[in-house]
Amino acid sequence: MTNYHIGFSCLVCGTEHAADYDGYVCKECEGKLDADYDYHAMSDEFSVDSLKSNPDRTVWRYAPAFPFSDVANVPRLFMGITPIYRNRDLEAKTGVNEVYLKDDSRLPSASFKDRASSVVMTVAIEKGIDKVACASTGNAGCSWACMGAACGMPVIIFVPASAPKAKIAQLGVYGADVRQVDGTYDDAFQLCAEECEEHGYFNRNTGFNPFTREGKKSVSFEIWEQLGFKAPGSVFVPVGDGNIISGVWKGFRDLKQLGLIEELPAIYAVQSDASAAIARTIRKIQSGDGDADNIQLETVSANTRADSIAVDSPSDGVAAVKAVIETGGDAVTVSDDDILDTIPELASSTGIFAEPAGVTSITGLKAHSDSDAEIPGPAVCLVTGNGLKDVEAVLER
Ligand SMILES: Cc1ncc(COP(=O)(O)O)c(C=O)c1O
Ligand SMILES: [Zn+2]
């Protein structure tokens, strides 16, 4: 198999880095890096015809667009194409012509994060790494520990001690070395970076490790294929660090580079109003107070019940803001009450049980349509984490 990954470009200053660059961030300005590919060479292996004749029903059908050389190295877990469901209730409520829910609560560790962890783990294996680490609000760590267990890779996880019990249990049962941090996710992130630096562990920290975005982009390939090889009009994404949304953006940018779509969908960042660093940054730019060419991220003191999106200083914030501004999307903020109400509404009307962050995209779509904004259809809401990961969110109500 050919690895078409040819290097990285800094999302802030544009400096190019070789494919074998072993830093995580830009060597000039510490901006986050974006992976570049030889799209021309890739296009024979990644095309409508090649996909139509490919019987593989997992994300590995998109292997030419991932930054590794041999699909034999991927974790032995079913990284299946996740279901996409049309939802006529939401169409009636929002007036959008077609609304779809993309159910990523069904991946191996029950969250979207498996898209990143499976790809980053494969990269780590090909680099000959023997110990890896990650900070997490819960799900990224569970997913990293899950992939580590499947590959026999020792994993260290830094997680706030306040994370939901099910997530802490999940980390332990996969055999990870769990370091519970008496502090916020941002504290855990910093601690993980320091330990990795000191001991030479490979750091999967979300947004910091450029391969996380590369794994997450597969959701866009799936949506495009599931909609009949067409881009949707809009995608609604729950946002914390901003790495899922930047992965969505990257996937559609890849498809455009490959000549497979003409326009990117409008990308909407949905945040809790109690953890809205990215939304605030976008609004500042929209109001003329901020500069889209020199993005200065706002920081907050996050305090949302949707623990997975509680982030003070988003690590992939610059890419997230670009994803929204450059695609003509928008920032949407919603209350924790509205997020928590969406959980039983969704479960009882569709059979999909998602955690608070996992339903936030749907809460955002409804809120945005209530504001009379024009939402390009089809609209896709990402459902990013399983409800069993945080049953207290339901029991406490
Ligand atoms: C269920 C769920 N939804 C959404 C997110 C937000 O992703 P990001 O932090 O990349 O913005 C996370 C991150 O942990 C998550 O676990
Ligand atoms: Zn730079």
pLDDT in tens, 261-307: 999 999 999 999 999 999 999 999 999 999 999 999 999 999 999 99
- For range 240-260, the mean pLDDT: 98
The predicted pLDDT at position 396 comes to 87
| Ligand 1 atom index nearest CA of 320 | 11
* Residue 243 alpha carbon to ligand 1 centre in Å: 8
Distance separating alpha carbons of residues 253 and 224, to the nearest angstrom: 12
Across 228-290, the runs of DSSP E, i.e. the strands, are 234-238, 266-272
Q: Are 389 and 166 in contact (CB under 8 A)?
A: yes
DSSP H stretches of helix in the chain = 39-42, 48-52, 88-94, 114-126, 139-151, 165-173, 185-199, 210-216, 218-226, 243-257, 277-286, 317-327, 336-350, 356-370, 392-395
Confidence of residue 45 (pLDDT cuts 50, 70, 90): very high
Distance separating alpha carbons of residues 244 and 116, to the nearest angstrom: 9
Q: Does 140 reside within a domain?
A: yes
What digits encode the pLDDT tens for the residues 140-156? 999 999 999 999 999 99
Q: Are both 138 and 283 inside the same structural domain?
A: no
DSSP string, 177-194: EEEEESS-HHHHHHHHHH
- End-to-end Cα distance, the chain: 51
Confidence of residue 372 (pLDDT cuts 50, 70, 90): confident
Query: Which ligand has the nearest atom to the CA of 112?
Result: 1
Q: Does 71 reside within a domain?
A: no
Two structure tokens written together for 107: 């991946």
Q: Examine the pLDDT at 180 and tell me if it is beyond 90.
A: yes
The predicted pLDDT at position 349 comes to 97
Evaluate the CA torsion angle 11, 12, 16, 21 in order and state its sign.
Answer: negative
| 3-state helix, strand and coil shares in percent for the chain, rounded to the nearest 5 | 45, 15, 40
Two structure tokens written together for 184: 């916020």
Q: Are both 245 and 378 inside the same structural domain?
A: yes
| Ligand 1 atom index nearest CA of 137 | 14
The predicted pLDDT at position 223 comes to 98
Q: Are both 120 and 217 inside the same structural domain?
A: no
Confidence of residue 220 (pLDDT cuts 50, 70, 90): very high
- In this prediction, what percent of the chain has a pLDDT beyond 70? 100
The predicted pLDDT at position 1 comes to 83
Q: Choose the residue to mutate in 139, 249, 309 for probing ligand 1, maximizing ligand atoms within 8 Å of C-beta.
A: 309
The predicted pLDDT at position 397 comes to 80
**Average model confidence (pLDDT) across the chain:** 97
| Ligand 1 atom index nearest CA of 237 | 4
What digits encode the pLDDT tens for the residues 65-95? 999 999 999 999 999 999 999 999 999 999 9
Q: Choose the residue to mutate in 105, 109, 112 for probing ligand 1, maximizing ligand atoms within 8 Å of C-beta.
A: 112
Two structure tokens written together for 100: 């779809």
- HSE-CB of 393 using CA atoms within 13 angstroms: 31
Q: Cis (ω within 30 of 0) for the bond into 378?
A: yes
Distance separating alpha carbons of residues 183 and 180, to the nearest angstrom: 9
Q: Are both 139 and 262 inside the same structural domain?
A: no
- For range 165-172, the mean pLDDT: 95
| Ligand 1 atom index nearest CA of 111 | 1
Domain stops at, among 191, 208, 225? 208
DSSP state of 37: E
Residue closest to 247 by CA, chosen among 321, 323, 189? 323
DSSP state of 189: H
Q: Does 153 reside within a domain?
A: yes
Q: Are both 147 and 238 inside the same structural domain?
A: no
Nearest CA to ligand 1 atom 15: 308
- For range 82-111, the mean pLDDT: 98
Q: Which residue has the tokens 């490919």?
A: 54
Q: Are both 128 and 55 inside the same structural domain?
A: no
**Domains in the chain, number:** 3
Domain stops at, among 208, 230, 249? 208
Q: Does 227 reside within a domain?
A: yes
Q: Are 366 and 373 in contact (CB under 8 A)?
A: no
The CATH number of the domain holding residue 237 is: 3.40.50.1100
* Residue 62 alpha carbon to ligand 2 centre in Å: 29
Q: Are both 40 and 118 inside the same structural domain?
A: no
The vertex-50 CA angle with 260 and 222, nearest 5°, equals 60
Q: Which residue has the tokens 């406490």?
A: 396
- For range 187-212, the mean pLDDT: 97
| Ligand 1 atom index nearest CA of 311 | 9
Q: Examine the pLDDT at 181 and tell me if it is beyond 90.
A: yes
Q: Are both 33 and 143 inside the same structural domain?
A: no
Question: Could you list the residue range(s) of the whole structural domain that residue 229 is in?
Answer: 84-111+212-395
Buried b (16+ CB within 10 A) or exposed e, 309-327: bbbbbbbbbbbbbbbbbeb
Confidence of residue 226 (pLDDT cuts 50, 70, 90): very high
* Residue 111 alpha carbon to ligand 1 centre in Å: 9
Q: Does 13 reside within a domain?
A: yes
Q: Are both 204 and 216 inside the same structural domain?
A: no
Number of Cβ within 10 Å of residue 100's Cβ equals 23
Q: Are both 123 and 55 inside the same structural domain?
A: no
* Residue 238 alpha carbon to ligand 1 centre in Å: 7
Query: Which ligand has the nearest atom to the CA of 237?
Result: 1
Q: Examine the pLDDT at 163 and tell me if it is beyond 90.
A: yes
Q: Are both 260 and 278 inside the same structural domain?
A: yes
| pTM, entire model | 0.98
Name residues with Cβ closer than 5 Å to ligand 2, which is an ion.
Answer: 10, 12-13, 15, 26, 28-29, 31
Distance separating alpha carbons of residues 363 and 343, to the nearest angstrom: 9
DSSP state of 31: P
Distance separating alpha carbons of residues 146 and 157, to the nearest angstrom: 11
Ligand 1: which residues within 6 Å by Cβ?
Answer: 111-113, 137, 139-140, 206, 238-244, 308-309, 355, 357-358, 384-385
Q: Are both 102 and 227 inside the same structural domain?
A: yes
- In this prediction, what percent of the chain has a pLDDT beyond 90? 98
Residue 250 φ/ψ, nearest 5 degrees: -60, -40
Query: Which ligand has the nearest atom to the CA of 141?
Result: 1
